[in-house]
Amino acid sequence: MSEFSIIEKYFEPLSKTGALDDDAAVLDVPQGQQLVVTSDTSNRGDHFVEELSPSDAARKCLRSNLSDLAAMGADPFVYQLNLALPKEIDEQWLAGFAGGLEADQKEFGILLSGGDTTAMSAGALSVSITALGLVPPGEAVPRGGAQPGDLVVVTGPLGDACLDRLRLPYPRTAIAPLIRRYAKASVDISDGLPADLGHICAVSGLAAQIEFAKIPFSKKVQEALRDGKTTPQDILTWGEDYELALAVAPEDFESFKAEAVKQGVEPVAIGDFTEGNQEVQVLDESGKPLSFQKTGWQHF
């Protein structure tokens, strides 16, 4: 198939009528909104698990971008799709890939605005998505807004990606308006909680203490921890959770939680930001800090 027939058959239907006809897409940014821009690249053999279906591979790429937008408190707007495909990619793969995008476009309210489809040699496959979101002026949530005394809050259970690499993350798009209303700082957990919380601490100039016992885990993760099939360190440094870590003022937490629960999300307070030297401590049940030696932790 030529580039043009691939676009016409699989990607034109995912875009607004006519958006792919020109050299570039022309977009009206709704008046009085700021633009939020993020990118994520997934390569076969790397972020991609080989066994991921084409549909799930597409959804995972799009969702990692949506998670970044949600972290900023931004509502989804449009995305650009850049594909570098090996020549052996067939129509079945393309149909599955486009089908996954179509399903998630409906679920999360975003449209394709354009992109580029190119051929790669030697079996390599790379998917880059740049997503644009919208926020009311000044309401985007940075990493640097945490203050001493703020609660460390996570938006859902962590660690499942460590046990099930085929699992699709679920971006917290539904509560983006609540993130911008209640969160003072925010980050999406893609490299592991201590590493990503470390980003907030670094930019905010703070430390954080969290209690391992307060971190929400699924039944599966709880059992694996109890049976010694995994360790707290493995669970917390795997990354790819795509839940959000937030700084929320203590007096706002109950209102935030009540409104989030209505959207099917249950935020959990797991610790505090404090004055200190940009260090993240995860305390065990006896109040002793766990030690981390893995790269997830080293990452930042």
| Residues 244, 179 contacting (CB under 8 angstroms) | yes
Between CA 265 and CA 247 the distance in angstroms is 16
Among 187, 193, 210, 215, binds a second copy (CB under 8 A): 187
| Residues 73, 183 contacting (CB under 8 angstroms) | yes
Length of the chain as a residue count? 300
Q: Does 222 bind a second copy (CB under 8 A)?
A: no
Among 119, 166, 258, 261, binds a second copy (CB under 8 A): 119
- How far CA 24 is from CA of 12, 18, 31, 133, in Å, comes to 14, 11, 21, 18
Q: Does 47 bind a second copy (CB under 8 A)?
A: yes
Q: Does 159 bind a second copy (CB under 8 A)?
A: no
| Residues 267, 246 contacting (CB under 8 angstroms) | yes
Region binding a second copy by CB under 8 A among candidate stretches 117-125, 215-223, 271-279, 281-289: 117-125
Q: Does 221 bind a second copy (CB under 8 A)?
A: no
Between CA 40 and CA 43 the distance in angstroms is 10
Q: Does 130 bind a second copy (CB under 8 A)?
A: yes
Backbone phi and psi for residue 299, each to the nearest 5 degrees, phi listed first: -45, -45
The distance of closest approach from Cβ of residue 172 to a second copy in the complex, given in angstroms and rounded to an integer, is 12
> Which lies closer to a second copy via its Cβ, residue 42 or residue 209?
42
Q: Does 43 bind a second copy (CB under 8 A)?
A: yes
Touching a second copy, residues 196-215 (CB under 8 A): 203
Between CA 66 and CA 68 the distance in angstroms is 5
Binding region for a second copy (CB under 8 A)? 2-4, 21-29, 31, 34-43, 45-47, 68-69, 71-72, 74, 78, 80-84, 113-124, 126, 128, 130, 132-133, 135, 137, 140, 142-144, 186-188, 203, 299-300
